[in-house]
């Protein structure tokens, strides 16, 4: 499962790692939020609403209110921009919370000093290149994998897979039998990465929608008894 790269190591979070971990998590989350914002903006701009809405408003201004052609065109463009802009901002407002910084990062050492939690970092040439955390869920046998972040300069080197393998080992030590995680359908990099790490999709559900646009979350699971430690 892991790519052999001896310059990458993983270990539990130490006090001196905290500032770098915070800035890495913050940077990756804001970059993910920007990426997601652009994906959805592109979808809004290329959806059939962008054609149907101005046609509808043009007919309203020109045929119903009897406005001349040019002013009708101008008004229909303005109204469409306002309506679709408000719809897009409302949609974004519904999903933007997914990318906010979590409580656990305020005092990570304290938060993860817990018998059912762990936080690992990947170190490359003395730099923190990636993070992953695990914490309890409602089911005592199931751990939640989260904070799977790799700094953009260190991607596609197998760091995520190394971290996943290492957090599986930690989770076994914490007496978990399986892992679960949540991501979203637009995060293709993460979906491929989790599938490569042996995770199986078990649920997809709508998290937020503003017709016809939607943001769907997916839940992936992995049975920790399927394979033994790989590192
Ligand atoms: C998703 C993420 C953690 C992957 O980290 P990474 O260290 O680059 O991943 P790896 O090098 O270990 O790659 C593992 C596999 O994931 C898939 N993958 C990773 N990046 C990919 C990309 N840009 N495009 C397609 N597949 C990709 C590939 O299958 C890859 O295996 P391969 O390189 O043998 O083809 C990283 O891109 C990231 O931090 N993204 C932003 C934060 C995020 O979305 N985290 C997940 C939250 S749920």
Share of the chain above pLDDT 90, in %: 84
Residue 20 has pLDDT above 50, yes or no: yes
pLDDT above 80: residue 187: yes
C-alpha count within 13 angstroms, C-beta hemisphere, residue 87:
21
pLDDT digits (tens, 9 = 90+) for 122-169: 999 999 999 999 999 999 999 999 999 999 999 999 999 999 999 999
Q: List phi, psi (to 5°) of 142.
A: -110, 125
Examine the domain organization and report whether 73 and 113 are in the same domain.
Answer: no
Q: Does residue 229 lie within any of the structural domains?
A: no
pTM confidence score? 0.90
Residue with CA nearest ligand 1 atom 36: 150
Query: Does residue 190 belong to any structural domain of this protein?
Result: yes
Q: Let me know: does 88 contact 38? Beta carbons within 8 Å.
A: no
In this structure, the residue with its CA closest to atom 15 of ligand 1 is 193
Task: Note the pLDDT of residue 2.
Answer: 46
Number of the ligand 1 atom closest to the C-alpha atom of 196: 29
Average pLDDT, the chain: 93
Question: Would you state the structure tokens that stand for residue 56, as one six-digit string?
Answer: 């509808």
Q: Would you say residue 32 lies in a domain?
A: no
Number of domains in the chain: 2
pLDDT at 3 over 70: no
Is the pLDDT score of 216 beyond 90? yes
Categorize the per-residue pLDDT at 100 as very low, low, confident or very high, splitting at 50, 70 and 90: confident
- Ligand 1 atom nearest the C-alpha of 32 is 41
Residues 162 and 207 in one domain: yes
Q: What is the mean pLDDT of residues 55-62?
A: 93
Measured from CB, residues less than 6 Å from any atom of ligand 1 are: 28, 32, 148-150, 155-161, 183, 187, 189-190, 192-193, 196
Mutate to test the pocket of ligand 1, among 148, 189, 192 (most ligand atoms within 8 A of CB): 189
For ligand 1, the distance from its centroid to the CA atom of residue 198, given in whole angstroms, is 14
Residue 169 lies in a domain: yes
Q: Given a cut of 70, is residue 1 above it in pLDDT? A: no
Looking at the CA of residue 150, tell me the nearest atom of ligand 1. Answer: 39
pLDDT above 70: residue 31:
yes
Same domain assignment for residues 93 and 128: no
Tokens at 189, concatenated: 């990099």
Q: In this structure, are 12 and 126 located in the same domain?
A: yes
pLDDT at 197: 96
SS (H, E, C) the chain: CCCCCCCEEEEECCHHHHHHHHHHHHHHHHHHHHHHHHHHHHHHHCCCHHHHHHHHHHHHHHHHCCCCHHHHHHHHHHHHHHHHHHHHHHHHHHHHHHHCCCHHHCCHHHHHCCCCCEEEEEEECCEEEEEEEEEECCCCCEEEEEEEEECHHHCCCCHHHHHHHHHHHHHHHCCCCEEEEEEECCCHHHHHHHHHCCCEEEEEEEEEEECCEEEEEEEEEEECCCCCCCC
For residues 173-195, average pLDDT: 97
The residue ranking higher by pLDDT, 45 or 179, is 179
The pLDDT confidence band at residue 185, using thresholds 50, 70 and 90, is: very high
141 found inside a domain: yes
List the domain range (segments joined by +) for residue 110. Answer: 8-16+103-223
Q: Give nearest CA residue, ligand 1 atom 43.
A: 149
Mean pLDDT computed over 203-210 = 94
């Amino acid at each position: 499962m892991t790519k052999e790269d001896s310059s990458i190591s993983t270990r539990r979070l130490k006090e001196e790692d905290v500032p770098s971990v915070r800035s890495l998590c913050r940077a990756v989350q804001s970059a993910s939020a920007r990426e997601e914002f652009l994906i959805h903006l592109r979808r809004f701009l290329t959806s059939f609403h962008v054609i149907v809405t101005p046609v509808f408003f043009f007919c309203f201004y020109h045929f119903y209110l009897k406005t001349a052609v040019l002013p009708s065109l101008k008004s229909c463009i303005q109204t469409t921009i306002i309506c679709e802009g408000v719809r897009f901002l409302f949609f974004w407002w519904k999903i933007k919370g997914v990318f906010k910084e979590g409580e656990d990062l305020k005092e990570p050492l304290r938060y993860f000093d817990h018998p059912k939690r762990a936080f690992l970092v990947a170190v490359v040439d003395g730099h923190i290149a990636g993070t992953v955390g695990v914490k309890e869920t409602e089911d005592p046998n199931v751990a939640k994998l989260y904070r799977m972040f790799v700094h953009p300069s260190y991607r596609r080197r197998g760091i995520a897979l190394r971290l996943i393998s290492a957090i599986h080992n930690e989770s076994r030590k914490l007496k978990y039998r399986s892992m679960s995680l949540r991501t979203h359908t637009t995060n293709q990099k993460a979906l491929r990465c989790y599938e490569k790490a042996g995770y199986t999709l078990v649920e997809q559900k709508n998290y937020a929608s503003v017709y016809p646009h939607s943001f769907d979350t997916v839940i992936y699971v992995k049975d920790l008894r399927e394979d033994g430690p790989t590192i």
